[in-house]
């Protein structure tokens, strides 16, 4: 609890733009239900898609049949949302470039996954998918509710049902 108070104090002392970024990185915004900035939304959505695609490509090599079937769906779905996001940034003239690589947190998760085989890999992949989709649903819900770019806000709302469905699928897979 002391850590949460410290983080909250730091956020209050920070500038609004920096507070959003720190808040998203630490998860404080999610806990408090604060909408991400447009930059944070684009960055987090793009990184989430990259992680989903890359970890699912690995699952195609190492997973059992149900895991491979899920991974195939995740690759197709997240390639689609990546394409949609990039197209929306151009069509709505949003001057943000999505990241080209995973952030250190997601890269670390992918690196850890690469070290595993068999049931250990499958269990960790399933857990990672639940965690990733919980985070994505939170991100998209918060931006759809109070995001500051109308085009991205609309897209986030339209994308949410599919992300919620992915979460349900991941939870069933992990059971």
pLDDT of residue 8: 42
Query: Both 26 and 108 in a single domain?
Result: no
In percent, how much of the chain has pLDDT > 70?
81
Angle at alpha carbon of residue 95, lines to 36 and 42, rounded to 5°:
30
Query: Both 101 and 154 in a single domain?
Result: yes
Per this entry, what is the length of the chain? 175
CB 70 within 8 A of CB 52: no
Residue 154 burial (10 A CB sphere; 0-12, 13-18, 19+): middle
pLDDT band at 51 (very low <50, low <70, confident <90, very high): very high
For the stretch 129-145, pLDDT in tens is 999 999 999 999 999 99
Does position 90 have pLDDT exceeding 90, yes or no?
yes
Q: What total of structural domains would you count in the chain?
A: 2
pTM of the model: 0.82
Residue 50: give the domain boundaries. 35-174
What b/e sequence results for 32-65 when a residue is b if at least 16 CB atoms lie within 10 Å of its CB, and e otherwise?
Answer: eebbbbbbbbbbbbbbbbbbbbbbbebbeebbee
Query: Both 51 and 106 in a single domain?
Result: yes
């Amino acid at each position: 609890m002391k850590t949460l108070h410290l983080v909250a104090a730091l956020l209050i002392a920070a500038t609004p733009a920096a507070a959003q970024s720190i808040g998203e990185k630490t998860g404080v915004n999610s806990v408090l239900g604060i909408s991400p900035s447009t930059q944070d939304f684009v960055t987090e959505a793009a990184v989430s898609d990259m992680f989903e695609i890359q970890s699912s490509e690995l699952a195609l090599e190492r997973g059992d049949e149900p895991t491979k079937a899920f991974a195939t769906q995740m690759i197709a779905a997240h390639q689609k949302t990546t394409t949609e996001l990039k197209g929306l940034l151009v069509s709505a003239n949003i001057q943000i470039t999505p990241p080209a690589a995973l952030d250190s947190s997601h890269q670390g998760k992918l690196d850890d996954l690469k070290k595993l085989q068999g049931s250990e890999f499958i269990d960790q992949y399933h857990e990672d998918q639940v965690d990733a989709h919980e985070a994505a649903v939170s991100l998209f819900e918060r931006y759809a509710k109070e995001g500051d770019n109308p085009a991205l806000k609309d897209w986030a709302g339209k994308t949410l049902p599919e992300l919620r469905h992915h979460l349900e699928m991941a939870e069933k897979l992990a059971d």
